[in-house]
Structure 1
Amino acid sequence: MVNRRDDDADVIVVGAGPAGATAAHYCAQAGLSVIVLEKARFPRDKICGDGLTPRAVSELVTMGVPIREKDGWIRNQGLRVIGGGHRLELPWPELASYPSYGMARARTSFDQILAEHARATGAKILEGMNVTGPVLDERTGRVVGVTARPVDEQGRRAGEEQTFRAPVVVAADGVSARLATALGIEKRNDRPMGVAVRTYFESPRHDDSWMESHLELWEGKPNESALLPGYGWIFALGDGTVNVGLGSVSSSAAATKIDYKQLFATWMRNVPEEWGFTEENQRGKVRGAALPMAFNRKPLYDRGLMLVGDAGGMVSPFNGEGIAYAMQAARVAADTIAQSRARTTASSREAALRRYPEIMRQDLGGYYTLGKYFVKIIEHPQIMRLCTRYGLPRPLLMKFTVKLLSDCYEPRGGDLVDRVISGLTKIVPAA
């Protein structure tokens, strides 16, 4: 084993996705030395809907990432909801806290943009480095670094294992959460878990200004065939392609026997021909991923290791959105790390780090608990059908729903709907 003491840093970040790149950016911006270890090489793909809610756009603005349309970002004005015989276009709410538009960008370029932004801030990003485990202090059991080995573009070993040391390690290693698992931090089976599959098509719908959500999927013609489990989406990317996918969510992490790729094929057989969702226009395989929700892995901080993004189960049960919360958590984690490094004693540094899970609980715990209740209702297709048929036409209910689904409401003040949602997140037990 090669001991790379010259690569020691204030912070080691494992994973350079949205969570890892954001954490690295803010840590570097605070004057800390940062090493990011990323197994893949950019550009690389991740399974995602590629849609960004106004909440995610706000995080990009705060981070200072240029989001000009001429740079390849496509903006959308809201959510088009189709279900129960209804077709509604629901604009993103006008709020002081968030912009009134969302965006979309393929993960192959989105993740690279964030990583390069972190690198420009001062973070050292090492691609092709597969982290193999945490390094623990023999006396305290505290995480004091990680071991990693170089890998080639196919993931094969390409060098000797190395040790990287830092007083704090940020685990942004995705749904596998290998560092957390190595510390015995197991996932919570009582939290919702989603599954999603997606692919890309060249389509005339590539410049659609609405994010489209299909709340019902049918085996054949609507209302004349069986109702399939799950929901579908179509997100225009503005580059000649659309991201098309479907998913489902369960109130627990129990394994499902649903063949999602077959389900996707069934849906595609019944979409309008003019959309161009054909094998000839398909770009890439149908790929799937798990969506860990509602803080399904706790504690978010333990013995020098911080969990951010999917590693901490931060996907919203309401909409399957994970990017906004990954970036938010990374921003909070970086701030607590910077505050910790400014302390003068070990106990005060540890106290500062322990603020991270408490801040996240206060910010998102109540919202995630509401999401758990929401999933218990809509995970049954028959109940979902009743909700869409009789709930969609009601303007006040839909205003409430779009704010709740997008997590775009004023946390303080705002209109009646904002105050109701904010009040509910405070009175329910935090996840």
Structure 2
Amino acid sequence: MIDVLVAGGGPAGLAAAVHARLAGLTAVVVEPRTAPVDKACGEGVMPGGVASLRALGVEPAGRELRGIRYVDGVRRAEAPFRDRPGLGVRRTTLHRALHERALGLGVRIVPGKVGEVRQTRDSVTAAGITARWLIAADGLHSPVRRRLGLELPGGPRGRYGLRRHYRLAPWTDFVEVHWSGQGEAYVTPVADGLVGVAVLSRVRRGYDEHLDGFPAL
């Protein structure tokens, strides 16, 4: 029997597995996708997140961020980070760095999905593996959490996320959050010659249509 079974091999699941190994526990991650996994993401890590990654021995390549700026037409407000910089980093770069760190520490990553979960007083069995603890790191709308009856009333509402990268020099070292009547656009420098623009909205439409709602961009 292992100590920790992690359902989901995204950044949260891999970080949990690395934490377990650094604490001297055995850990197995169950994940159906091949690393690195990409998805629509703002790609900005706050200073506390950068410090947490460093404590795990993970320092992915990216671009330092000095703060966050909110933009709504001609109105804007910004807040520089006080003590330490944040980090703009491609999600694939972050995932790859966590994946390599987990493997280097002896975390076993197996292909598959956690379906049925069976529990006893001192163990849990899922995906054919028995462990002392199970961590459900399988996303915002976690199927594992739902099957175990742990959903909170009025759980998270869904939004559509779309993202593109543009090969141009960043014009700022802040994350910029632009607002429109339909959603937000997150602009994050992720390398010296690369800027990510992620759009989040409850309205389902194409990326270019969403971008039309942000004239400054």
Q: What TM-score bracket applies, with the shorter chain setting the length?
A: 0.7 to 0.9
Structure with the larger strand share: 2
Task: Tell me how far 1:212 sits from its aligned partner.
Answer: 0.8
Task: Tell me how far 1:239 sits from its aligned partner.
Answer: 5.8
Note if contact 1:134-1:143 (Cα within 8 Å) is conserved in structure 2: no
Q: 1:243 aligns with which of 184, 196, 200?
A: 196
Task: Tell me how far 1:181 sits from its aligned partner.
Answer: 1.5
Indicate whether 1:201 and 2:170 are aligned. no
Q: 2:139 aligns with which of 169, 174, 177?
A: 174
Task: Show the counterpart of 1:185.
Answer: 150
Task: Show the counterpart of 1:48.
Answer: 41
The 1-side partners of 2:166 and 2:36 are apart by 20
Q: Unmatched 5+ residue regions in structure 2?
A: none
RMSD over aligned Cα, in angstroms? 2.5
In 2 relative to 1, CA 122–200 (structure 1 residues): closer, same or farther, beyond 3 Å? same
Note if contact 2:68-2:80 (Cα within 8 Å) is conserved in structure 1: yes
Q: Higher RCO, 1 or 2 (CA under 8 Å, sep at least 6)?
A: 2
In 2 relative to 1, CA 21–207 (structure 1 residues): closer, same or farther, beyond 3 Å? farther
Task: Show the counterpart of 1:335.
Answer: none
Note if contact 2:62-2:90 (Cα within 8 Å) is conserved in structure 1: no
Structure with the larger helix share: 1
Indicate whether 1:106 and 2:90 are aligned. yes
Note if contact 1:52-1:102 (Cα within 8 Å) is conserved in structure 2: yes
Note if contact 2:44-2:87 (Cα within 8 Å) is conserved in structure 1: yes
In 2 relative to 1, CA 143–242 (structure 1 residues): closer, same or farther, beyond 3 Å? farther
Task: Tell me how far 1:233 sits from its aligned partner.
Answer: 1.6
In 2 relative to 1, CA 26–201 (structure 1 residues): closer, same or farther, beyond 3 Å? closer
In 2 relative to 1, CA 83–33 (structure 1 residues): closer, same or farther, beyond 3 Å? same
The 2-side partners of 1:39 and 1:207 are apart by 38
Which amino acid is 1:210 matched to?
F
The 3-state SS of whatever aligns with 1:113 is helix
Note if contact 1:246-1:264 (Cα within 8 Å) is conserved in structure 2: no
The 2-side partners of 1:178 and 1:266 are apart by 30
Q: Unmatched 5+ residue regions in structure 1?
A: 1-7, 95-99, 148-162, 218-227, 249-257, 276-431
Q: 1:90 aligns with which of 79, 99, 110?
A: 79
Task: Show the counterpart of 1:359.
Answer: none
Aligned length: 217
Indicate whether 1:129 and 2:109 are aligned. no
Task: Show the counterpart of 1:268.
Answer: 212
Indicate whether 1:27 and 2:20 are aligned. yes
The 1-side partners of 2:46 and 2:158 are apart by 18
Task: Tell me how far 1:143 sits from its aligned partner.
Answer: 5.6
Which amino acid is 1:259 matched to?
V
Which amino acid is 2:119 matched to?
L
* Structure with max Cα Rg: 1
Q: TM-score scaled to structure 1, two decimals?
A: 0.46
The 1-side partners of 2:68 and 2:123 are apart by 43
Question: Residue deviations 1:27-76, cap 9 Å, x none?
Answer: 11122111111111112213311111112112112222135xxxx32111
Question: Residue deviations 1:209-233, cap 9 Å, x none?
Answer: 121111x32xxxxxxxxxx232222
Which amino acid is 1:199 matched to?
R
The 3-state SS of whatever aligns with 2:36 is coil
Which amino acid is 1:230 matched to?
G
The 1-side partners of 2:106 and 2:206 are apart by 45
Which amino acid is 1:129 matched to?
G
The 3-state SS of whatever aligns with 1:45 is coil
The 2-side partners of 1:106 and 1:122 are apart by 25
The 3-state SS of whatever aligns with 1:132 is coil
Question: Residue deviations 1:168-215, cap 9 Å, x none?
Answer: 1111111231222221222320x664624221132324474121111x
Percent of aligned pairs with the same amino acid: 28
In 2 relative to 1, CA 124–179 (structure 1 residues): closer, same or farther, beyond 3 Å? same
The 3-state SS of whatever aligns with 1:213 is strand
